[in-house]
Amino acid sequence: MNSINLENSEIIQVVFFILLAFLSMFLVLVLFFYFSRKKIVQIEVEKKNIEIENQKKILQNTIETQEEERKRIAQDLHDDISSKLNIVSLNTHLLRTPNLKDEELNEITQNIIELTKKALENSRRIAHDLLPPVLEKFGLHSGIEELVFECNSSKSVTVEYFNSSTKESLESLSAGTQLHVFRILQELINNSLKHGKAKKITISLENISNQVKLLYQDDGLGFNRNDDEVKAGIGMSNIASRVTIINGESQIFSKPNEGFQFQLIFAYE
Ligand SMILES: Nc1ncnc2c1ncn2[C@@H]1O[C@H](COP(=O)(O)OP(=O)(O)OP(=O)(O)O)[C@@H](O)[C@H]1O
Ligand SMILES: [Mg+2]
């Protein structure tokens, strides 16, 4: 009888331990799922936060770009147009002076003609800077050709441009995308001349499936992005904003004394 009781209590103990083991395993599993779920949610939240931060930066950059652009246009209008029109106005009033000699009349009229001509030229230049007419009329390829021609005529640098992308691929780009790519190239060239003191620049456009690949390189001084001397200007961050706006992907390669390379890939419709 005693031995039966002993066996029963042993069985109860075994069952109890098995139950306890299952319960512990269950608990461990629940805890494991709870914490891994929490981790996943945390990673998702962090990702979303980074996305929001990036969007905020782009918005900030866009606003800064607009402000810079407005400042520049205001300066150009003030220095190149308003000042000239002011003198034209003064000269026109002078014409009312009684008993003007022929010589004086001639001089004043000549002044008015020359200043009006300059004001007209300047307003044309300002308008062209805002939206290069060649880009609007003939598209990105011709815009780049003109840019390259202007740089080469300065004789301080040689720019080579190769375009193997199809006409249709470039024509299907929106006017906005074409302008963004054009502005990116303008800034890259500015930097190559200003910082890299480059002597040779190569620009190429090609198609990869339904995308356009832009490759830009210079043979200048190059730089190391982590270097303290390399100050983040507005130029490179504008480029980054423009790349995001056109849904492109870009990469920069540069090392001191090894030139600078920029690659941009973006889709065409
Ligand atoms: N092609 C290049 N060769 C050598 N250094 C470059 C080149 N492009 C950029 N850099 C370095 O990167 C820095 C940041 O360039 P970024 O265009 O942002 O500013 P910036 O040209 O100094 O000023 P901003 O463009 O606002 O007038 C430059 O100051 C320069 O040190
Ligand atoms: Mg710059």
Task: Report how far ligand 1's centroid is from the alpha carbon of 218 (Å).
Answer: 13
192 lines ligand 1 (CB under 6 A): yes
Distance CA(1)–CA(226), nearest Å, equals 84
CA gap 14, 23 in Å, rounded: 14
Question: Does residue 220 have its Cβ closer than 6 Å to ligand 1?
Answer: yes
233 alpha carbon – ligand 1 mean position (Å): 6
Instruction: Tell me the CA–centroid distance for residue 197 and ligand 1, in Å.
Output: 11
Count of beta carbons in the 10 Å neighbourhood of residue 188 = 24
The residue to mutate among 223, 237, 241, having the most atoms of ligand 1 within 8 angstroms of its beta carbon, is 223
Beta carbons within 10 angstroms of residue 105's beta carbon: 13
179-234: pLDDT as tens digits = 999 999 999 999 999 999 999 999 999 999 899 999 999 999 999 888 877 777 78
- Output the CA 239–ligand 2 centroid distance in Å: 10
User: Over pLDDT 70: what percentage of the chain?
Assistant: 98
Q: What is the DSSP letter of 131?
A: S
Strand-strand pairing, 249-254 and 200-208: unpaired
Instruction: Output the pTM of the full model.
Output: 0.75
What is the chain's Cα-based Rg? 34
Residue 3 has pLDDT above 70, yes or no: no
Structure token pair of residue 88: 């034209």
Contacts 24+ apart (CB under 8 A), 86-93: 87/111, 87/115, 88/112, 88/115, 88/116, 88/119, 91/115
pLDDT: is 171 or 64 the higher one? Answer: 171
Above 90 in pLDDT, residue 91? yes
Could you tell me the CA-to-CA distances from 38 to 29, 34, 41 in Å, in that order? 14, 6, 5
